[in-house]
Structure 1
Amino acid sequence: MNKNLDYNSIIGLTLILFVLIFFTYLNNNVNFNSNNNNKLSYNHQEFSKKKEFSFTKNRKKNDFFLLENNVLKIKISSLGGYINELLLKKYKAYDSSLSHHGKNLYLINNSNFLYKLSFFNNKGLNINTDTLYFQPVSLENNKVSGIKTLIMRAKNPYGKGFLDYIYTIGEKNQYDIGFSIRTKDFSSLGEYRSYINLEHKIISLEKDRNWENSYTQVYYSTSNNDDLNNFTSVKYLSEKKTEDKNIYGVNWIADKQQFFSFIFIPDKILKNVFVRSENFSSGSFLKRIQMKTFINTVKNEEFYFSFRLYFGPLDLNLLKKYQNGFENIIPFGWGFLKWINKYFFLVIFQFLEKTNLNYGVIIILMTIVVKLILSPITYKQYKLSAMMKLIRPEIEKLNDKYKGDILKKQRAIMELYHNVGINPMSGCITTLFQIPIFYSLFKFFPTIINLRGKSFLWVEDLTSYDSILKLPFFIPFYGNHVSLLTLLYSLALLIYTKLSNDGRKDFSQNENDSSIPDMNFILYLMPVIMLLFINSYASALSLYYFTSNIINIGFFFFIKEFMLNKNKVFIYKNSRIIK
């Protein structure tokens, strides 16, 4: 390897390249093949049969009943008693004909969310609630609590008795609804068992369906005791492939997409829940999520089961209020990257959001604030790079002088470093420190719901890519469109690379520096790589990186012209220090 290579630059570029390749593989290599190797632990084989998840399609005309508050509008069907439509009032879905978020956002529509309760006994009698007709028997509005309660009742088809579905909804800005099931005089069934069966086909709501699908998956919380507030872990099923799983000790299960989620929250911990997640490769649905769980029944006692259903945004502050770990389903990244996003970038973003400026301007201001916070590290890195280039001629002389003695050469070089007051390893450390910050932004901008649907200049949605030209063909890694912000960022990175490289030549004081051609290839490859890799990422990410590189260019000139003077740098020469 050439002795004059800038090792810190090579290490930094290599790490960034590795991160980009790894991240792109995780997010774009979506595998739609089924993986059905998991064995079911239930004794009842019907859990693995598709017919158990089928619902009646040829239904008679039925009536619908409304429940509504400030944020939700719910339509409940008399046939099956299930929620037929659920509208989020404060949000819009992406409309391709308008090229922005302009149509009503339904989390439930066109029978994409179906659930039923099944009762069966040893005599072969079977009741499926999706075939029963429910009629409203009570609609109460508690003026004190503001809670509305709708009771839907269906008759027992095998004799006397009835079954109630009880829906409750808060008056104001509550995104969760209560749902209870109870029986009355179901003695004609004798001793029976029951289970709940749910099928949820998640609707695509965003501009980029494939990108949205990569953020859509099942999350769940489990516990080892009966305390719902004492959850032990939050786990998830694969977002890339079909997966079957039996989950034990369930606190809650969430069907999460990029910005919204449905969360199933039982009042008591469920001992065993079977879950299946399956991808759709095309169409208006992203995934099919199926859940099934047995409900314990006591002989000669009426059936009663209660839970809550959350249909709403993935808003961190909103989810934290439930104090049940729901905020952990927001994909801020893994490990310490999540901490960087939640306690560094999000804090800065929310502080600047109070200015009520355009969100594009907020991102620019956020970039400036982050750069100012990190400026001491950046300055040290730039200063080290400049000083290393200034003393390179001295290092070359030491290489020639101790060509046959590696140990003496290393000692002499380390003495040179000590006398000029630099630590060559500090450059590597600062580069490694900035890698997590670089990567965490890939997870930050596509998950912030406040940016969803927000425009800036020509950008329609800061959480999706901006497109100034649609290509008639697909380019691997790049895509089938041209993002102007990505082009601007790559151009700014190219200019900064050129300036840095010219600075290297100026500082090196060596016209025949043979390291330049080798470094040129590596340095100038980075803008091309970034152009390919982030063309389909959130435009907010490109805006942040573009602004960051503009600041880098200004910072480079400021340090070079005003804070570093090569005539004032002490160098080691002829066993003494000269100025």
Structure 2
Amino acid sequence: MRNRNLDYSSIIGLVLILFVLITFTYFNNYKEYKEKELNFNHKKFVVKKEIFRTDNNKKNNFFLLENNVLKFKLSSLGGIISDVILKKYKSYDDSLSHHAKNLYLIKNFSLEYKLFFQNKKGFNIDTNLLYFKPFLFVKNEKNGIKILIMRATNPYGKGFIDYIYKIRENQYDIHFSIRTQNFSSFFKEGYRCHLRLEHNILSLEKDRDWENSYTQVYYSIFNENSISSVKYLSEKKTEDKNIDETNWIAHKQQFFSFIFIPDKKLKNVFIKSENFFSGSFLKKIQLNTFINTNENKEIHSSFRFYFGPLDLNLLKKYQNNFENIIPFGWGFLKWINKYFFLVVFQFLERTNLNYGIIIILMTIVVKLILYPITYKQYKLSAMMKLIRPEIEKLNSKYKGDVLKKQRAIMELYHNVGINPMSGCISTLFQIPIFYSLFKFFPTLINLRGKSFLWVEDLTSYDSILKLPFFIPFYGNHVSLLTLLYSLALLVYTKLSNDGKNDFSQNENNSSVSDMNFLLYLMPIVMLFFINSYASALSLYYFISNIINIGFFFFIKELILDEKKIFLKIQEKKMIKHNSWKEMIKKIGNKKYKNPMKE
């Protein structure tokens, strides 16, 4: 049996990474949950049967409103937006295997919103059953503003309900105002007005399940110190919540979002998120709230609807903390992605090179920055190999006394100038970077739909073979980049674990075999773990391991001189030994000169 050298700090790091991956996989598995009962203020929300009915003979008409980035289709029935097209983006087309279809963020009334009025006499008005007619259209060429007023009449007498839509050029939001006029006959007995919104979120990307894992509800609230913070509902299960005060609510997808923004803080808001595990919809989001502030007064409430991309710079311009809905990760991982990886990526993006090349250059930049840590790890590994014979002697000498053996080994480390924790600390330092990239590439809209070599979309997996069956954790396809990465990781593991100058170890060392097993298990785990992840991630890790292999030969063959290191170790040992002898000699001389003081 050929004996192997072990870098224990690397093994500790790999075990920690394996633990992180297993934990991450567990919390991202899809599980079906039973739907919870819809609540409003912790009580069942009951809706009375509407007295008013629409005239079935009326015809529903549609009207267009657009700027240079958005195109809206409005319905006369209900006066609501039935379709929203993002002009500068495309959705994934299965038949063409790339992003080619018009991107409908809203389609065929997948977003519905309405007012529901109830007065004390029991008369109800549901605005989705009213027909709205275009009352006024204003277009200001100078300011790039377009305003469309849709008007419906009060079915119980005098009065109107106006829906006012206003858009500007180059803006992804539309202003939406609700205004009642001459509704005093309906309001005089007192009334309640509910705003209800339901959104069935459409799937737009290649991998529906992966996209669904990035789709969830975010909302902004004020804490006790009047500081706004962003919270969210679960992306994996059905969940509902009552919110006392909210600034805005976002229905976030992987790369796009609908954000509901009231001009004034909404009080007493109920939101619910429900998962769909098949079909063209990802989730259903429901929202209920009151909008009338005083009884017997006309309603005049304003909102904004944001329909647009999750672009960090664009969202920052709205100055409402919208950028916090981009899932760059939690805690310090978010800071690594926002203020390191994104900055490096945006700098390289200015080269106008293919995005695959940009990722390769980005990998090189990161590896060069981490080179000092890599060098220290290789140097520590070389020094550990050189003192291996000494460690084996101590193992044999103190075979029956573990405590003495550990003390002797630590003394040996101290004598030769080795800090065994330094390698572990270096490995731990790289784990946040390793994990941050799992959140970075799948959420970067700049990479969406961008191709490289055989890869169709760098934010989704690359597939060279479709399997007729599904393998748990692996999927139903074969990713070539994942295979290349796992192979490169296996080669690097072999090189770093099998040096040319390994020293002998006991053949029947079960702990060594177990640790070797963990080392070689890692490429297999990664093969299964990232097969369905963004191909940009697999490309980064493949290039990273190719660079690691290059560093291995460069440092081992050209930088590190093991003979010099060995001589330095012996020199340090001699210095420590001579210092110890000299100290003992001084103590002895002192005792000889002062025998009466003992």
Deviation of 1:491 after TM superposition, in Å, equals 0.8
Q: Output the amino acid matched with 1:242.
A: T
Within 2, Cα distance between the matches of 1:559 and 1:516? Answer: 25
Residue aligning to 1:220: 219
Within 1, Cα distance between the matches of 2:422 and 2:469? Answer: 46
Q: Output the amino acid matched with 2:251.
A: D
Within 2, Cα distance between the matches of 1:236 and 1:247? Answer: 11
Within 1, Cα distance between the matches of 2:54 and 2:107? Answer: 16
Deviation of 1:66 after TM superposition, in Å, equals 1.2
Structure 1 residues 222-280: Cα deviation after superposition (integer angstroms, max 9, x where no partner) = 1258x9xx652211111111112111111100001100000000000011111111111
Deviation of 1:64 after TM superposition, in Å, equals 1.3
The question of 1:158 aligning with 2:153 is answered no
1:37-186 equivalences under 5 Å are: 40-41=40-41, 45-46=45-46, 61-171=59-169, 173-186=170-183
Residue aligning to 2:459: 463
Deviation of 1:396 after TM superposition, in Å, equals 1.5
SS of the equivalent of 2:247 reads strand
Deviation of 1:300 after TM superposition, in Å, equals 3.5
Deviation of 1:193 after TM superposition, in Å, equals 1.4
Question: Structure 1 residues 43, 554: CA separation in 2 closer, same or farther (over 3 Å shift)?
Answer: closer
Deviation of 1:323 after TM superposition, in Å, equals 1.3
Among 522, 544, 552, the residue aligned to 1:526? 522
Deviation of 1:577 after TM superposition, in Å, equals 5.8
Question: Structure 1 residues 510, 56: CA separation in 2 closer, same or farther (over 3 Å shift)?
Answer: farther
Residue aligning to 1:334: 330
Q: Output the amino acid matched with 2:162.
A: D
User: What is the identity percentage for the equivalent residue pairs of Structure 1 and Structure 2?
Assistant: 75
1:125-524 equivalences under 5 Å are: 125-171=123-169, 173-189=170-186, 190=188, 191-224=190-223, 231-403=227-399, 406=402, 408-503=404-499, 506-508=501-503, 514=509, 517-524=513-520
For normalisation by structure 2, the TM-score amounts to 0.90
Structure 1 residues 132-152: Cα deviation after superposition (integer angstroms, max 9, x where no partner) = 111111111234432111111
- Conserved 8 A contact 1:179-1:308: yes
Residue aligning to 1:31: 31
Deviation of 1:406 after TM superposition, in Å, equals 4.9
Structure 1 residues 302-334: Cα deviation after superposition (integer angstroms, max 9, x where no partner) = 111101000000011111111111111111111
Residue aligning to 2:10: 9
Deviation of 1:573 after TM superposition, in Å, equals 8.9
Within 1, Cα distance between the matches of 2:57 and 2:480? Answer: 50
Deviation of 1:419 after TM superposition, in Å, equals 3.0
Within 2, Cα distance between the matches of 1:77 and 1:93? Answer: 24
Question: Structure 1 residues 575, 406: CA separation in 2 closer, same or farther (over 3 Å shift)?
Answer: farther
Question: Structure 1 residues 44, 37: CA separation in 2 closer, same or farther (over 3 Å shift)?
Answer: closer
RMSD: 2.5
Within 2, Cα distance between the matches of 1:297 and 1:160? Answer: 22
Residue aligning to 1:20: 21
Residue aligning to 1:551: 547
Q: Output the amino acid matched with 1:33.
A: Y
User: How many pairs align?
Assistant: 567
Within 2, Cα distance between the matches of 1:273 and 1:219? Answer: 13
Q: Output the amino acid matched with 1:453.
A: G
Within 2, Cα distance between the matches of 1:240 and 1:365? Answer: 35
Structure 1 residues 374-416: Cα deviation after superposition (integer angstroms, max 9, x where no partner) = 1111111111112111111111122333445555544433332
Within 2, Cα distance between the matches of 1:528 and 1:42? Answer: 48
Deviation of 1:357 after TM superposition, in Å, equals 0.5
Higher Cα Rg, which structure:
2
Q: Output the amino acid matched with 2:460.
A: S
- Conserved 8 A contact 2:151-2:161: yes
Deviation of 1:60 after TM superposition, in Å, equals 5.1
- Conserved 8 A contact 1:195-1:293: yes
SS of the equivalent of 1:550 reads helix
Question: Structure 1 residues 44, 510: CA separation in 2 closer, same or farther (over 3 Å shift)?
Answer: closer
Q: Output the amino acid matched with 1:142.
A: N
Q: Which runs of 5+ in 2 are unaligned?
A: 577-598
Question: Structure 1 residues 420, 140: CA separation in 2 closer, same or farther (over 3 Å shift)?
Answer: same
For normalisation by structure 1, the TM-score amounts to 0.93
Within 1, Cα distance between the matches of 2:27 and 2:407? Answer: 45
